[in-house]
Structure 1
Amino acid sequence: MDYNPGGGSPDHNGGGGGGIHLVCEYCGAGCSYEPDDAEDGFFSCRQCSAIHTSTQATAADPNDFPATGNISVRRVATQPTPTPKLRTPAPYPIPHAVATPAPAAAPAFDDFSEPSEPRDFAPAGAWSEPEDLAARVRWRYVRGMQVILQRQLEVLVERHRVGALVCGVAGTVWVRWVAASKVFDGMWARQVLADHETAERYMRFGGGDDKKSDDVKYEWEDDILPRRKDRHRVEFAFLRSLRMMLPVYSTLAVCFLACHIAREAILPSDIYRWAMEGKIPYVAAFTEVDRILGSSLQVQDCPLDARQLFRPVRVIGAWQLEVAAGSIAQRVGLRLPSVNFYAIAQRCLMDTSLPIDRILPHACQIYEWAMPAELWLSSNPARIPTRVCVMAILIVALRILYKINGQGIWEKICEGGRNADGYDPDTKSAPFMKPDGSNSEEFGMRELLCAVAASYDKINVEHDYSSDLHSYLKYCKEVIFTGITFSSEEEHLTEIFWDMYKGREDENPKEQVKSQSQGIEEMTITNGVNKRYRDGTFVEASCVSASSGRDAIQMIKSEMQDHGFHYMPPRKPRKSDGYLRYRRRRLTGGFVYVAHADYYMLLRSFAKLAEVDVRIMHISVLKLERRLACIEERIERSLNTLQNLSSKTKDELRPVSD
Structure 2
Amino acid sequence: MANGLALECQMCGYVGMEDGSDGYYYCQRCGAQADEIRDTAVDNEEMFLNNENAGATIQRRTVVKSEPVTQSQPLSQFWETLRTQVDDDDDDDAEAGDGVGPTEPADFATGPRTLGYEDYYSEIRMRYVMGVQIMIELQIKALVEEFNVCPVIVGIIESIWLRFVASTKLFSDDWADDAINESESQVQGETEGVRVRSEHKSEPHNLLGKRSVMIWYKSVSNTIPLYYSLVISFLACHLTREPILSTDIIKWTLEGKLPYFAAFVEIEKIIGPPTNACPLSSSRMFRPLQTVSVQKLESLAASIAQQIGLELPPVNFYGIALRYLKQLSLPVDTILPHACRIYEWSMPSELWLSANEFRLPTRAFILSILIVSIRILYNIHGFGKWETSLSCAVKREDGKMPKVNNADKLAQQSSSQSDVDDSAAEPCNKDLDATEILVLLHSKYNELIDTSDHGKDLEKYLAYCKDVVFAGVELSFEDQEEDKIIEDLWNFYQKKEDDHKPSELDLLTPSSLHKRPRDHSQSKTTKTKKPKDENDHVTLDPKESHKDREIRRMKSNMEENKFCYISPRRRVKRHDYLHYTRKKGTGAYVYAAHADYYIILRSCARVAQLDVRSMHAAVLSFERRLDWLEKNIKHSLKQMPCYEGCQICDDDNNDGNSMNFDKLNL
TM-score, normalisation: structure 2: 0.65
From 461, 464, 470, the equivalent of 2:453 is 464
| 8 A contact 2:144–2:150 mirrored in 1 | yes
**In the alignment, what sits opposite 2:250?**
272
| 8 A contact 2:143–2:258 mirrored in 1 | yes
**In the alignment, what sits opposite 1:190?**
177
**Counterpart of 1:529 in structure 2: which amino acid?**
N
| 8 A contact 2:36–2:65 mirrored in 1 | no
CA distance in 2, matches of 1:140, 1:283: 18
Give the CA RMSD over aligned residues. 3.9
Q: CA deviation at 1:580?
A: 0.6
**In the alignment, what sits opposite 1:155?**
142
Which whole-Å deviations, capped at 9, do the CAs of 1:131-163 have from their partners, x for residues lacking one? Answer: 321110110011111111111111111110110
CA distance in 2, matches of 1:128, 1:442: 80
Report the secondary structure of 1:412's partner residue: helix
Are 1:357 and 2:333 counterparts? Answer: yes
Q: CA deviation at 1:467?
A: 2.0
CA distance in 2, matches of 1:417, 1:131: 82
Q: CA deviation at 1:470?
A: 3.9
From 226, 235, 241, the equivalent of 2:219 is 241
Which whole-Å deviations, capped at 9, do the CAs of 1:602-633 have from their partners, x for residues lacking one? Answer: 11111111111111110000000011111111
| 8 A contact 1:323–1:380 mirrored in 2 | yes
Cα distance change of structure 1 residues 283 and 397 upon mapping to structure 2, 3 Å threshold: same
**In the alignment, what sits opposite 1:343?**
319
Report the secondary structure of 2:247's partner residue: helix
**In the alignment, what sits opposite 1:98?**
none
Cα distance change of structure 1 residues 492 and 577 upon mapping to structure 2, 3 Å threshold: farther
CA distance in 2, matches of 1:529, 1:407: 24
Q: CA deviation at 1:179?
A: 0.7
Report the secondary structure of 1:314's partner residue: coil
**In the alignment, what sits opposite 2:468?**
479
| 8 A contact 2:243–2:320 mirrored in 1 | yes
Cα distance change of structure 1 residues 396 and 193 upon mapping to structure 2, 3 Å threshold: same
From 377, 382, 388, the equivalent of 1:412 is 388
CA distance in 1, matches of 2:456, 2:340: 37
**In the alignment, what sits opposite 1:323?**
299
Q: Kindly report which structure 2 residues correspond to 1:443-454, keeping only aligned pairs within 5 A, or say none.
A: 444-454=433-443
Are 1:296 and 2:285 counterparts? Answer: no
Q: CA deviation at 1:353?
A: 1.7
Report the secondary structure of 2:584's partner residue: strand
Are 1:529 and 2:535 counterparts? Answer: yes
**In the alignment, what sits opposite 2:660?**
none
Which whole-Å deviations, capped at 9, do the CAs of 1:333-353 have from their partners, x for residues lacking one? Answer: 111111111111111112212
| 8 A contact 1:353–1:455 mirrored in 2 | no
**Counterpart of 1:181 in structure 2: which amino acid?**
T
**In the alignment, what sits opposite 2:308?**
332
Report the secondary structure of 2:445's partner residue: helix
Cα distance change of structure 1 residues 205 and 330 upon mapping to structure 2, 3 Å threshold: same
**Counterpart of 1:591 in structure 2: which amino acid?**
Y
**In the alignment, what sits opposite 1:250?**
228
CA distance in 1, matches of 2:474, 2:545: 54
How many residues align structurally? Answer: 480
Cα distance change of structure 1 residues 200 and 235 upon mapping to structure 2, 3 Å threshold: farther
Q: Kindly report which structure 2 residues correspond to 1:5-24, keeping only aligned pairs within 5 A, or say none.
A: none
**Counterpart of 2:162 in structure 1: which amino acid?**
V
CA distance in 1, matches of 2:556, 2:586: 20
| 8 A contact 1:409–1:442 mirrored in 2 | no
Q: CA deviation at 1:595?
A: 0.8
Q: CA deviation at 1:495?
A: 7.5
Report the secondary structure of 1:406's partner residue: coil
Q: Kindly report which structure 2 residues correspond to 1:46-57, keeping only aligned pairs within 5 A, or say none.
A: none
CA distance in 2, matches of 1:238, 1:170: 26
CA distance in 2, matches of 1:459, 1:264: 23
Q: CA deviation at 1:201?
A: 5.9
Instruction: Name structure 1 gaps, 5 residues minimum.
Output: 1-104, 120-124, 207-223, 424-437, 519-525, 532-545, 648-658
**In the alignment, what sits opposite 1:95?**
none
Cα distance change of structure 1 residues 530 and 308 upon mapping to structure 2, 3 Å threshold: farther
From 569, 578, 594, the equivalent of 2:592 is 594
**In the alignment, what sits opposite 1:139?**
126
Q: CA deviation at 1:591?
A: 1.2
**Counterpart of 1:451 in structure 2: which amino acid?**
L
Q: CA deviation at 1:371?
A: 1.1
Cα distance change of structure 1 residues 615 and 499 upon mapping to structure 2, 3 Å threshold: farther
Cα distance change of structure 1 residues 112 and 459 upon mapping to structure 2, 3 Å threshold: farther
Q: CA deviation at 1:305?
A: 1.9
Report the secondary structure of 1:387's partner residue: helix
**In the alignment, what sits opposite 1:92?**
none
| 8 A contact 1:127–1:133 mirrored in 2 | no
From 167, 189, 194, the equivalent of 1:180 is 167
| Percent of aligned pairs sharing the same letter | 38
**In the alignment, what sits opposite 1:374?**
350
CA distance in 2, matches of 1:549, 1:493: 60
Q: Kindly report which structure 2 residues correspond to 1:203-214, keeping only aligned pairs within 5 A, or say none.
A: 204=191
Are 1:286 and 2:264 counterparts? Answer: yes
Are 1:393 and 2:369 counterparts? Answer: yes
From 290, 293, 303, the equivalent of 1:314 is 290
Cα distance change of structure 1 residues 127 and 237 upon mapping to structure 2, 3 Å threshold: farther
**Counterpart of 2:613 in structure 1: which amino acid?**
R
Which whole-Å deviations, capped at 9, do the CAs of 1:211-257 have from their partners, x for residues lacking one? Answer: xxxxxxxxxxxxx95179956x4322222111211111111111111
Q: CA deviation at 1:454?
A: 4.5
Report the secondary structure of 1:204's partner residue: coil
CA distance in 1, matches of 2:366, 2:216: 42
Which whole-Å deviations, capped at 9, do the CAs of 1:49-107 have from their partners, x for residues lacking one? Answer: xxxxxxxxxxxxxxxxxxxxxxxxxxxxxxxxxxxxxxxxxxxxxxxxxxxxxxxx996
**In the alignment, what sits opposite 2:238?**
260
Are 1:637 and 2:624 counterparts? Answer: no
Q: CA deviation at 1:419?
A: 7.2
| 8 A contact 2:264–2:287 mirrored in 1 | yes
> Which sits farther off after the overlay, 381-390 or 309-318?
309-318
CA distance in 1, matches of 2:234, 2:473: 30
Q: CA deviation at 1:407?
A: 0.9
**Which has more radius of gyration?**
1
Q: CA deviation at 1:197?
A: 2.5
**In the alignment, what sits opposite 2:557?**
559
**In the alignment, what sits opposite 2:602?**
604
Instruction: Name structure 2 gaps, 5 residues minimum.
Output: 1-32, 39-63, 71-82, 88-111, 194-202, 400-425, 511-531, 538-543, 646-666
Q: Kindly report which structure 2 residues correspond to 1:216-235, keeping only aligned pairs within 5 A, or say none.
A: 226=205, 230=209, 233-235=211-213
Which whole-Å deviations, capped at 9, do the CAs of 1:484-530 have from their partners, x for residues lacking one? Answer: 2335599977985786687578657689xx99xx9xxxxxxx95436
| 8 A contact 1:375–1:386 mirrored in 2 | yes
Q: CA deviation at 1:116?
A: 7.6
| 8 A contact 2:37–2:65 mirrored in 1 | no
Cα distance change of structure 1 residues 491 and 153 upon mapping to structure 2, 3 Å threshold: farther
**Counterpart of 1:152 in structure 2: which amino acid?**
Q
| 8 A contact 2:115–2:277 mirrored in 1 | no
Cα distance change of structure 1 residues 419 and 322 upon mapping to structure 2, 3 Å threshold: farther
**Counterpart of 2:286 in structure 1: which amino acid?**
F
Report the secondary structure of 2:578's partner residue: coil
